[in-house]
Amino acid sequence: MSNKYSSLNTIKQLWPFIYPHKKALIVAIIALLFNAATDATLISLTKPLLDNGLMDKNYELLILFSIGIIGLIALRGLSNYCSTYCLSWLSGKVVTKFRQLIFNHLVKSPISFLDKNPIGELVTLITYNTQLLSKASSDALIILVREVAYAIGLCIVMFYGNWKLASVLIVVVPLVIFIAQFIAKKFRHALISMQKGIGTITTAADEMLKGHKEILIFNAQKYEKNNFYSINEVFRRGILKIVLVSGLSTPIIQLVATLALGLILFLVANQTLDITPGSFTVVFSAMVAVMRPLRELTSVHLELQKGSVACESLFGLLNSAVEEDSGTIDLKRAKGSIEFHHVTYTYPTRTSPSLNNISFKIKEGETVALVGRSGAGKSTIASLLPRFYDISVGEILLDSVDIKKYTLKSLRNQIGYVSQRVHLFNGTIADNIAYGAKNKFSQEDIINAAIQANAMEFIEKLEHGLDTEIGDNGVLLSGGQRQRIAIARVLLRDNPILIFDEATSALDNESERLVQQAIEHLQKNRTSIIIAHRLSTIERADRILVIDQGKIIEEGTHKGLLLQNGLYAKMYQLQFNT
């Protein structure tokens, strides 16, 4: 770990987030100083209370002391409340802004980044690590300001009581600093393991919930339970290690401080020092009280370690690359001609290319189907056009212009994308059809899109119609209903280019018929790319490209390819015979 994310530099990293709310920070610091001063003052009153009040039986002084103590206690409570409120408010502001910043960054992250990072770990960053960083920093601030001020105040009180006894502190402080550094190093490794453990638990839970049907059908409940038990046990041992390491500080500091107290008692018992009861009491009380700030100042290293571990992961994410959007052309509406020119692409997680020097053209308004075995590179072509991934070899042209020259927003506004795995958002049917542009379209526009997508046929039968809540990812809808909502979503936007990535492969015959009708309606006067598993759905395509191992090996119409008796004919014959 570099010094960039360690020790007090954690707070420096957070300063740009804290600075806009510096007034709350200043008020909190002043309140913490008052809180520490009242605690030290209360102990310092012990000497005059004993020597001048009780010993001299000065009852008027005792009454004044009682009033003064009540006032100090009230001031202490007020300052404690003020500092707690201000820091909680500040912490809330910082963590909210930080979470929004992380979320905004993830929204702009390329899909290749999400491919390499488990969703559970990214969710942990947004939820747990931001809170950990904020809490660690605020706790560290409280300890640094209040406990340092309190420790300094107690030292002054001790020297005020008897400087000879107070000089024992000179022996204690170096030992405390050494112990703090030793424990902090041990604590850091345990924290990193715990952070990874939380991400692993979140990922395992996410996979179990998403794959619940598969778990049941394969009778894998025992396997999943044992797997989660192992993950949980590793996390439990990590937490235990943190408690063990952090728990060492208190008894060790107390032992060191107790040795100092024992030395004081030894000096007094041997009459080495001439000291009054008040002086002895105030020094002894201050020495006992200083255990707390010494212990807390040791723990500040632990709190800062929590913050620095969280800081590393969060700023590491913020420093990761976002989608490249250097294009300057704001495309209003594309004509729809597409050209792949000697394109080679290899996914970051693979070693062999998915597309190998592939070239083809699609005319404006033409419907082109892509077929081939699984893994041939069909979906890669569909992913490269909207720049979900960026190529480094070759060119992709839209209306004879390299797609990298267009702004990402305007490029993607030209493309309607319907995949086999439609993702719907938690909300109503209307919300999902108008997703991302709710205020742009009227209720009538949404209804017209649903009618054209053959979706109103089932929507009208629902109790709340378009206002029906569909649950998480449309769990309350069938596959065909989900696909028709996805098509309505594209229809509403009137995109000039359409991509259908196996949009009907997982549907029954009736649902496929309705979805296919909606697709054919949608294709009119638009450039379309259809990736199909069922070859019967692409017989009417203007052209069919047969992809194999990242290359185009056949090209033509449905009838022409059957006459060639190549791979397409074999695939069609296989499906026909089946």
Q: How far apart are CA 333 and CA 364, in angstroms?
A: 12
Q: Clarify whether residues 283 and 358 are in a common domain.
A: no
Using the predicted structure, report yes or no on whether residue 375 has a pLDDT greater than 80: yes
Question: Which of 91-105, 504-518, 529-543 has the lowest average pLDDT?
Answer: 504-518
CA distance 187 to 194: 11
Is residue 36 in a domain?
yes
Query: Is the pTM here over 0.85, yes or no?
Result: no
Counting the structural domains of the chain, the total is 2
* Residue range of the domain that includes 121: 3-318
Residue 331 lies in a domain: no
55, part of any domain:
yes
| 26 and 151 belong to one structural domain | yes
Pick from 245, 207, 250: nearest CA to 227: 207
| CA-derived radius of gyration, the chain | 35
Alpha-carbon dihedral angle through residues 347, 348, 352, 356, given to the nearest 10 degrees:
40
Looking at the structure, do residues 399 and 545 belong to the same domain, yes or no?
yes
Share of the chain above pLDDT 90, in %: 13
E strand or H helix that includes residue 367 = strand 367-372
Distance CA 299, CA 246 (A): 8
Residue 511 domain flag: yes
Q: Are residues 257 and 164 in the same domain?
A: yes
Q: Residue 398: its pLDDT value, please? A: 95
Choose the final residue of a domain: 290, 318, 346. Answer: 318
- The pLDDT-based confidence of 517 (bands split at 50, 70, 90) is confident
Regarding whether 569 and 518 lie in a shared domain, the answer is: yes
Say what the pLDDT of residue 249 is: 63
User: Residue 328 falls within a domain, yes or no?
Assistant: no
Give me 351's structure tokens: 């070693």
Same domain, 489 and 565: yes
Cα dihedral 149, 153, 154, 158 in deg (nearest 10): 150
**pLDDT score, position 273:** 58
Residues 310 and 355 in one domain: no
327 belongs to a structural domain: no
Which of 257, 289, 318 lies at the terminal end of a domain, its last residue?
A: 318
CATH number assigned to the domain comprising residue 526: 3.40.50.300
Q: How far apart are CA 254 and CA 262, in angstroms?
A: 12
In a domain, 325, yes or no: no
Measured torsion, CA atoms of residues 133, 136, 141, 142, in degrees rounded to the nearest 10: 140
Average pLDDT in the 77-81 region?
A: 90
| Of the candidates 316, 293, 297, 315, the residue with the CA atom closest to the CA atom of residue 12 | 315
pLDDT of 61 > 60? The answer is yes
DSSP 369-419: EEEESTTSSHHHHHHHTTTSS--SEEEEEETTEEGGGB-HHHHHTTEEEEE
Residue where a domain stops, chosen among 318, 350, 378? 318
Instruction: Give 474's strand partners.
Output: none
Least confident of 72-81, 230-239, 422-431, 475-484: 230-239
Whether 183 and 312 share a structural domain? yes
Query: What is the pLDDT, as a whole number, of residue 341?
Result: 94
Judge if 397 and 523 occupy the same domain.
yes
Q: Which of 11-25, 219-233, 272-286 has the lowest mean pLDDT?
A: 272-286
> Which residues in 137-162 are b (16+ Cβ under 10 Å) and which e?
bbbbbbbbbbbbbbbebbbebbbebb
- The pLDDT of 415-432, averaged and rounded, is 85
Query: Are residues 109 and 224 part of one domain?
Result: yes
Q: Cα separation of 515 and 503, whole Å?
A: 8
d(CA 289, CA 151): 9
3-state helix, strand, coil in the chain (%, to 5): 65, 10, 25
- With respect to residue 488, please indicate whether it lies within any of the assigned structural domains: yes
Give the CATH number for residue 183: 1.20.1560.10
Do 502 and 361 share a domain, yes or no? Answer: yes
> Are residues 374 and 257 part of one domain?
no
